[in-house]
Homo-oligomer: A and B are copies of this chain.
């Protein structure tokens, strides 16, 4: 086990902490680029409270509103442009994962005259690895991506319909202000997709990481059990602030780097899903909910014991060496049942996706990451036809 773990984000967690926004931002700058998504934060009153806190602390602001789900490169350019024109010296993301991711790349794009797409991980020639960004403050309004406390961001180039990502030290938010009250107005379906997203962050590590990370595995199990128990309650009653808090905290822990430390896991389920949502603009978590169990069934053929261990730890399914395949299948089935129980789709047809572009999704996934044999990294690696066949099982 060999790794470097460094997460310099200060996490301020709890109900009512939104009121601290102004003070925290003021310590970092005088004029904020306030990055927001759709209108929900304006309807819920969150925007008004955030602005009041900023203004009370003497922070002026300019808004980049309208960051769409699956945030686009053009939006990043627009936001960076506003930040430069308005002379912003700090970036505040107020919204879900898309808003936070777009805000992060805007913060770096301010210091880069080229195309922000040059920063993306898959760029092979003359890649620009961002070294500098405006200080970032994240205020998530949804438990899902964990973007509030990590250095990653996912962006879609809408011209080529390719979705890629960037990870850099300068993209770690200085402050993550996580107020679970802000998620109380999130509808049940988006809540459920977020739960699937956060769980998938740790299942990717659990199933695709190297051997020999028992503590990380157990933290992953803790995240999953917490998200399942409290996620169901949050879906059932969005006003249950205790449930909102537990799910929000689980989503932060899921991708703050601890579970990933030393596991060196590729994220094949994410990469396949990205190719779906880039083309069809579905919610990322909804796509994961379809791809994840399908991928599990594919991968369990090579490593039934690992999936049987998952089945045992998450669902208490007993297993011995001689029934690993059955235990694995039962665990995956139970996981799929859980996803359906909270309202997630598990078939492509449910989100309006047919079989026309299966080859294209495979090709797009492999564009972002592939090994020497041209396969998508994971345990096991997937060829283009493996990806197509896996998606075909959940049409």
Decide: A250 and B215 in contact? CB cutoff 8 A: yes
Interface residue A165 (Cβ < 8 Å from any Cβ of B): no
- Tell whether, in the assembled complex, residue A222 and residue B223 are in contact, meaning their CB atoms are under 8 Å apart: no
A84 contacts chain B at the CB level, 8 A cutoff: no
> Is B10 within 8 A of A6, CB to CB?
yes
Chain B residues whose CB sits within 8 angstroms of the CB of A218 once the complex forms: 218-219, 221-223, 225-226
Looking across the interface, which residue of chain B has its beta carbon closest to that of A12?
A: B4
Is the pair A212, B12 in contact by a Cβ cutoff of 8 Å? no
A15 located at the interface, meaning its Cβ lies under 8 Å from any Cβ of chain B in the complex: yes
Tell me if B242 and A214 are in contact (CB < 8 A). no
- Residues on the B chain within 8 Å of A229, using CB: 214
A6 contacts B2, C-beta separation under 8 Å: no
Which of B13, B16, B219 contacts A5 (CB under 8 A)?
A: B13
> For the complex, what is the distance from the CA of A245 to the CA of B215, rounded to whole Å?
11
A38 at the interface (CB under 8 A from B): no
Q: Which residues of B contact A7 (CB under 8 A)?
A: 7
A354 an interface residue at 8 Å Cβ cutoff?
A: no
Q: Is the CB of A2 within 8 A of B13?
A: yes
Task: Digitize A1-26: 1 where CB-to-B-CB distance is under 8 Å, 0 elsewhere.
Answer: 11111111111111111000000000
CB distance from A349 to the nearest CB of B (A): 35
Q: List chain B residues, Cβ under 8 A from A258.
A: 253, 258
Cβ of A19 to closest chain B Cβ, rounded Å: 12
Q: Given A214-B230, A219-B219, A242-B212, A11–B5 Cβ distance below 8 Å? A: yes
25 A-B residue pairs with CB within 8 Å: A1-B14, A2-B13, A2-B14, A2-B15, A3-B13, A3-B14, A4-B10, A4-B11, A4-B12, A4-B13, A5-B11, A6-B10, A6-B11, A8-B8, A14-B262, A214-B230, A214-B246, A215-B222, A215-B246, A218-B218, A218-B219, A218-B221, A218-B223, A221-B222, A258-B258
